[in-house]
Amino acid sequence: MDFGYPSLSSNTTVKIIVPVNKPVTVAPTNAFHVSEGVSIGTQVGTVNASDPDMTQDNENSLTYILTDTTVPFRIGNKTGIIETAGELDAETASTYQFGVHILDSDLPPTTATTTVTIVVEDINDNPPQLSSKVYRTKVSEGQANGRPLVLNLNPPLLAEDKDKNLINRHIRYYLKGKNSDMFRMNPRAGILKIKDTSKLDSEKQQKYKITIVAFDGTFQTQAHLVIEVEDINDNRPEFSGPYFYQVNPRATIGTKFGQVVAKDKDATSRNNRILYVLSQGSGGKFGVDFNSGDLYVASNLTDSPQEEEYNLVIQGFDTGEPSLASNTTVRVRVALNKAPIVDSNFVFQVPENMTIGSTVGIIPVFDPDMEHNPLESIQFSISDPTNNFAVSENDGKIVTKIVLDRETQEQFIFTVYCENDGAPSHTVSTTVTVILEDVNDNKPIFKSATGYHGTYKEGDPRGTITLNQELIATDADVNVENQNIVYRLVGNDSDLFQLNTATGSIKVRAPSRVRCNYKENYSLKIIATDQGGKGHQSVSTINIEVQDINDNAPRFTKKYHFRVPITAKEGTVIGSVMAIDNDCTQQNNRITYLLKDGGFGKFKIDPDKGEIIIADSLVREPMRNEYSIVVKAVDNGAPGLSNSTNVTILVPVNHPPSVQNSFHFYIMENSALRQFVGKITAEDRDLGRVKGEKLTFTLVDKAVPFSVHPLKGEIRTNDIIDREETELYRFKVMVNDNGVPAFTATTNIIITIKDFNDNAPQFIHGLEYRGTVVEDDRKPILKQKVELSKNLTVIDRDATNSNRQIRFSLKGPRSRLFKIDSTTGDIYVDRPGKIDRELNREFKFKIVATDQNGQGLSTEADLIVEVEDVNDHDPRFVQALYEFVLPSIVETGYEVGRLIAIDRDDTSPNNKLLYIFESDALGKFKIDVGTGVLTLLEGFFSKPRKTTYTFTVAAMDMGFPSRKTKAQVIVNAPHMVYNDHAPKFEGRNVFILKEELPIGSLVGTLQVTDEDRKKNNSVNLIIDPADERYVPFAIKNDGSIITTQRIDRDAGYEYFRFTVHATDNGTPSHNTSQEVGIIVDDINDNPPHFTMDTYQHMVSSNFPASTIIATPFAFDDVDKIDSVYQYSLLGGTPGYFYIDQQTGIIRTTDLARSLKSGKLEFKVVAQDLYNKTLTAEAKLNIQIMQTKQGRKSTCCRVPC
């Protein structure tokens, strides 16, 4: 129709086509097969879907998607071809099932779903696994029937193949290797048999090593097989004899002289070990070692009855069961001895004083059978009660052991013994007399051992000297000629004296030459010589003292003048006088000093030293410039003698200085150091008149900050002066004239300090302040004051008010929102509505305080204004919907995921959030109220169970009023595997093991089953870690218990108990406990010990042979297995005692009767025959008691 007038129109037909998208069609299930071990990318099968609307233009509109991305497969998006995406193992998973979504992208889009099942077919890819790398078994030799025999393997032969298919797990056994044809193994059961037992001979081959092969058709596994042939006792010992030996009759008991040896052809030590016994022919004289076959002397060969030849029968028997034996013969020959001949007595004469070791004489001896027994020898010994002589053991030479003295003893008599060492031995004796001849060997001895002392009084005209004791000497020699003594006097000035040898007196020859003042003492020597002056000499001393008389007066050697200052204190020593006295003794020459005249009582004198001392002050009237005193010296003789002298003493005099009473000065505070303040003036009339005298100035108060020049009297500052500390100083200055005596005068000093503005204001509460305001960006607050944590108080320490006027101000870019009262210091918010805690948690700026009414010195303090938070923001979840997918295996407490919400408020509790359920979670889940972590409760595994759980969670803050928000949660559990059964312990829980097994030894195996094992994987085994008992074991997951330490039953570990926990890996996991007991079996591993560490016994030389002297006993009180011990005796002197090897009893031999007094030390050893590495030792100390008996000897004189 057009818009003309009138309007014109016409009609037509329009066809509209709207295509309808029909749904995709696909089979509901698809099943495929694939072999395990194929490479990644192998095509498994194709999911075929059809689209009824498919044309050439839209033939690729279908898309294939896997619903489970965890399976080891992938699918072509457009082709629907399924390929392997990971390695396949039928033993791990034999079937996979998952969904495939098919999406049609035409409008409107449609979807379809199919379930795919893939079966993984098993191939033979696992070799058989044997239960051990080495198997062992034993079989005895000598089984003559020749029949086959089944052998039990240790451990039992077991094999496992992990392949899934029964055909692939079918295992066959066979043997290979050298000698494997002697044995046969059942290919199915693995039972081992020996084909012919008669071919086994341990003496030819004790051990067979062959290989066991387990074969599953593709793979084979090998293990070692060790077959041990056990020996039986089927061979008799064989000797290599007969034997012949010759034995010296002197051989001691225990001496070895030969050996018999037998051999046994059996293979093991149990059957081929040979023991020896002496069955007949020894007459008790010989023995054989039970183990080694060594032949030894058992008793004294010289004791009756004696034989020249012995025929011994030795039997050797093995330790097999039953024991086998054989005999051999040993022929033994022996010999004898005769006594030596010597004279009955000998006499020797020797001089006295021979050196030690000098020869006195030689004892000759004749031995009749020396030529026939060249190995025999004669030994000499002596019996000397005085112990003065010794005899050479080999040649009979008699020598001195000490220096012999004729004056002590004239002759000596003793006995010498001669013994030959034949068998039997013989001893004879002879008497020896030694006579001493006298020699001159003693010198004269003075009666006084310390010397002599004599006195002579000077001036005595008779020259008499008085001695303290008699002057005489004696001589100890026996001969009279040797006793004749002659005396003489020697030494310096010995000619002044005369010695009378008849009376033993001494006198002065010339008295005028012997005076005390010449010489006080004379030291001389007296010599005494025996044999009339030809022999030995002795020397003694004599000291002659000259006694003094008082015959000299004291005398002064000079005039004395002394000078002393008038200030000298009482007790001061001015000087000393000295007189001398020529008398020689202290009694006569000791001098005493006396003050006789002058000095006005101002002086005194020391009577012994002669020192003149001030007795009174020299400045006290009467005062003199010069004093004269008289000093007298008197000696202490009788009668006393004396002498006098005059002494002059000079003393100078001084006058005090003068100064005005006070001085007043002014100074500005903070003046520089050493600033001049003022000067002090003083006068002294002695200046210039007395040499060396001068005025000096000194501060009386050292604590003031000023100093005074010691010569000029100028006062200067000694420190910086602070007006605020001190306004006025008062102190004294002392003037000293330094005269003798020194005089002083004192003046008062006054110094006034002028003030200066030198102190800045001070914040009395520190230079940092904190304050608070409330945020008001949502609701402005008018005239809000900043609340300070401490008062804003400022002081100024200047002295004047004009310097102390203070004004306040704010400083810093962030102070623009605030203002301060310049007088009070109050601070306010200047711009309400601009305070936002989320933008600014705090404001930092400075407070400025300025003195002199804002024109002077300034001090700044830091101010931190903290903004208080208000709850003005709602919480917000980061996601509106949370969706989680659980794995197939989980357990109670499993963390599903975490919900996170945030709150923009800045502080707690406004931004502290709590998470709670808003809808019912069916008791399956728990949410942590603080963290939002979602975990599984134990009820999750209880029925009813779902594949999808949906609920709501809220997050709320803890501000006031509280604010909250919500989120939805979806938890998917599509492939969950639930665990419904706990592991079970079956079979043995008590085991027995030998002690001392190596670490890692297998103790036993616990059998554990779990009905859920196929879907819940393995079971883990552990020993309870909370068990505080000692548990030296570990357990593996296969149930095998092994040792972790060597276990010693003897240390008290006879039994162990502990708890084992079995935990499966299901959802949820289950735990079962079992108590295990292990019994420790004993082995022989502890050495024996004796009942005593040391055995003490006494033996008499008259004990008969075979007397029991000791019974040491060894035992083992630790091991539970009884042992047998073999005893031996070591050390000491062999031949006198012997020990029974089976009982340990120790007896004497015939030689014990020849033992001399003394002590013998032995060691007793006990050896465990079941374990020869175990031994014990003990000491045996034997004390020999000598029994006196008469000796019979025949002495004959023969020419030597």
Tokens of 1177: 């030792």
Residue 18, classed as helix, strand or coil, is: coil
Please say if the pLDDT value at position 562 is more than 80: yes
Q: What is the pLDDT of residue 72?
A: 93
Q: Which residues pair with 877 in a beta bridge?
A: 901
Kindly provide the residue ranges of all beta strands, DSSP E only, lying in 535-669, ordered along the sequence. Answer: 537-547, 555-556, 560-563, 573-576, 579-580, 591-597, 603-605, 611-614, 626-635, 642-650, 658-659, 662-668
In this prediction, residues 1135-1156 reach a mean pLDDT of 85
- For residue 944, whether the previous peptide bond is cis, meaning omega lies within 30 degrees of 0, is yes
Q: What is the pLDDT of residue 158?
A: 87
Find where tokens 């051989």 sit.
251
CA nearest 657: which of 699, 689, 620, 694?
694
Question: Higher model confidence: residue 846 or residue 1105?
Answer: 846
CA 536 to each of CA 436, 484, 527, 530: distance values in angstroms, whole numbers, following the listed order: 21, 11, 10, 6
858 Cβ contact partners less than 8 Å away, ≥ 6 residues apart: 760, 761, 848, 849, 850, 851
Q: What topology does CATH give the domain 658-754?
A: Immunoglobulin-like (2.60.40)
Q: What is the pLDDT of residue 446?
A: 85
CA 937 to each of CA 887, 893, 914: distance values in angstroms, whole numbers, following the listed order: 16, 6, 19
Per domain, the residue ranges of the chain are: 25-121, 129-230, 238-325, 345-437, 445-547, 555-650, 658-754, 762-868, 876-969, 984-1081, 1089-1185
Tokens of 54: 């498919």
Please say if the pLDDT value at position 184 is more than 80: yes
Q: What is the pTM of this model?
A: 0.32
For residues 109 and 53, the answer to whether their CB atoms sit within 8 Å is no
For residues 743 and 734, the answer to whether their CB atoms sit within 8 Å is no
pLDDT band at 1194 (very low <50, low <70, confident <90, very high): very low
Instruction: Tell me which range, 180-184, 191-195, 784-788, 973-977, is most confidently predicted by mean pLDDT.
Output: 784-788
253 Cβ contact partners less than 8 Å away, ≥ 6 residues apart: 296, 297, 298, 299, 300, 1134, 1135, 1136, 1137, 1138, 1149, 1151
From CA 1082, how far away is CA 1053, in angstroms rounded? Answer: 10
* CATH architecture for residues 238-325: Sandwich (2.60)
Residue 459, classed as helix, strand or coil, is: coil
pLDDT band at 543 (very low <50, low <70, confident <90, very high): very high
Measured CA angle at 711 (ends 680, 754), to 5 deg? 40
Find where tokens 């079979």 sit.
987
Measured CA angle at 412 (ends 409, 416), to 5 deg? 160
Please say if the pLDDT value at position 1197 is more than 70: no
Q: Does an H or E element contain 763, and which?
A: strand 762-763
In this prediction, residues 158-177 reach a mean pLDDT of 86
Q: Which residues pair with 1008 in a beta bridge?
A: 985
Q: What is the pLDDT of residue 1188?
A: 58
- For residue 511, whether the previous peptide bond is cis, meaning omega lies within 30 degrees of 0, is no
Pairing of strands 110-121, 29-35: parallel
Residue 533, classed as helix, strand or coil, is: helix
Find where tokens 């100093």 sit.
707
Per-residue model confidence as pLDDT tens digits over 436-481? 888 888 888 888 888 889 998 887 888 888 888 888 888 888 777 8
Tokens of 293: 């076959």
In this prediction, residues 857-884 reach a mean pLDDT of 91
pLDDT band at 127 (very low <50, low <70, confident <90, very high): very high
Q: What topology does CATH give the domain 445-547?
A: Immunoglobulin-like (2.60.40)
Q: Does an H or E element contain 272, and which?
A: helix 269-272
Tokens of 860: 């700044």
Q: Give 1103's DSSP letter.
A: P
From CA 278, how far away is CA 328, in angstroms rounded? Answer: 10
Q: Position 814: which residue type? A: R
Q: What is the pLDDT of residue 502?
A: 63
Q: Does an H or E element contain 949, and which?
A: strand 948-957
Instruction: Tell me which range, 13-17, 374-378, 975-979, 1112-1116, is most confidently predicted by mean pLDDT.
Output: 1112-1116
Q: What is the pLDDT of residue 986?
A: 87
For residues 29 and 114, the answer to whether their CB atoms sit within 8 Å is yes
Measured CA angle at 857 (ends 856, 859), to 5 deg? 140
CATH of 345-437, one of 2.40.160.40, 2.60.40.10, 3.40.50.1100, 2.60.40.60: 2.60.40.60
Please say if the pLDDT value at position 951 is more than 90: yes
CA nearest 771: which of 860, 863, 840?
863
Question: Higher model confidence: residue 320 or residue 1039?
Answer: 1039
Percent of the chain at pLDDT exceeding 90: 29
Per-residue model confidence as pLDDT tens digits over 619-673? 787 878 788 999 999 988 888 888 999 999 888 777 788 899 999 999 988 888 8
Per-residue model confidence as pLDDT tens digits over 802-838? 888 899 999 998 888 899 998 899 999 998 988 888 8
Query: Taking the C-alpha atoms of 504, 510, 516 and 520 in order, what is their torsion angle to the nearest 10 degrees?
Result: -40
Per-residue model confidence as pLDDT tens digits over 153-166? 888 888 888 888 87
For 567, counting Cβ atoms within 10 Å of its Cβ (0-12 exposed, 13-18 middle, 19+ buried), the class is middle
Mean pLDDT of the chain: 86
Measured CA angle at 138 (ends 133, 140), to 5 deg? 160
CATH of 25-121, one of 2.60.40.60, 3.40.50.300, 2.40.50.100, 3.40.1260.10: 2.60.40.60
User: What superfamily would CATH give domain 555-650?
Assistant: Cadherins (2.60.40.60)
Q: Give 1182's DSSP letter.
A: E
User: What superfamily would CATH give domain 1089-1185?
Assistant: Cadherins (2.60.40.60)
**In this structure, how many other beta carbons lie within 10 angstroms of the beta carbon of residue 373?**
18
Q: Is the four-CA dihedral 127, 132, 134, 136 of positive or negative sign?
A: negative
pLDDT band at 896 (very low <50, low <70, confident <90, very high): very high
Q: What is the pLDDT of residue 1195?
A: 32
Domains 555-650 and 762-868 share a fold: yes
For residues 803 and 856, the answer to whether their CB atoms sit within 8 Å is yes
For residues 875 and 965, the answer to whether their CB atoms sit within 8 Å is yes
From CA 768, how far away is CA 862, in angstroms rounded? Answer: 5
Q: Is the four-CA dihedral 455, 457, 461, 462 of positive or negative sign?
A: negative
Q: What is the pLDDT of residue 336?
A: 67
- For residue 305, whether the previous peptide bond is cis, meaning omega lies within 30 degrees of 0, is yes
518 Cβ contact partners less than 8 Å away, ≥ 6 residues apart: none
Pairing of strands 129-130, 159-160: antiparallel
Q: What is the pLDDT of residue 211?
A: 94
Q: How far from chain centre, in Å, is Cα 597?
A: 88
What is the rounded radius of gyration, in angstroms, for the C-alpha atoms of the chain?
66
In this prediction, residues 607-627 reach a mean pLDDT of 86
Q: What is the pLDDT of residue 1193?
A: 36
For 106, counting Cβ atoms within 10 Å of its Cβ (0-12 exposed, 13-18 middle, 19+ buried), the class is middle
In this prediction, residues 424-429 reach a mean pLDDT of 82
Q: Is the four-CA dihedral 884, 885, 887, 890 of positive or negative sign?
A: positive
CATH number of 984-1081: 2.60.40.60
Please say if the pLDDT value at position 1200 is more than 50: no
From CA 1047, how far away is CA 941, in angstroms rounded? Answer: 46
Percent of the chain at pLDDT exceeding 70: 95
User: What superfamily would CATH give domain 129-230?
Assistant: Cadherins (2.60.40.60)
pLDDT band at 858 (very low <50, low <70, confident <90, very high): very high
Tokens of 141: 């030799």
CA nearest 269: which of 314, 219, 216, 230?
230
CATH of 876-969, one of 3.30.1240.10, 3.40.718.10, 3.40.50.720, 2.60.40.60: 2.60.40.60
**In this structure, how many other beta carbons lie within 10 angstroms of the beta carbon of residue 880?**
10
CA nearest 875: which of 777, 970, 966?
966
Helices marked H in 818-957 — which ranges? 851-854
CATH class, range 762-868? mainly beta
Q: What is the pLDDT of residue 1126?
A: 92
Residue 1051, classed as helix, strand or coil, is: helix
Residue 603, classed as helix, strand or coil, is: strand
From CA 675, how far away is CA 677, in angstroms rounded? Answer: 6
Per-residue model confidence as pLDDT tens digits over 300-336? 887 878 788 899 898 888 888 888 888 999 999 887 6
Please say if the pLDDT value at position 690 is more than 70: no
Tokens of 737: 């004239």
Q: Position 325: which residue type? A: A
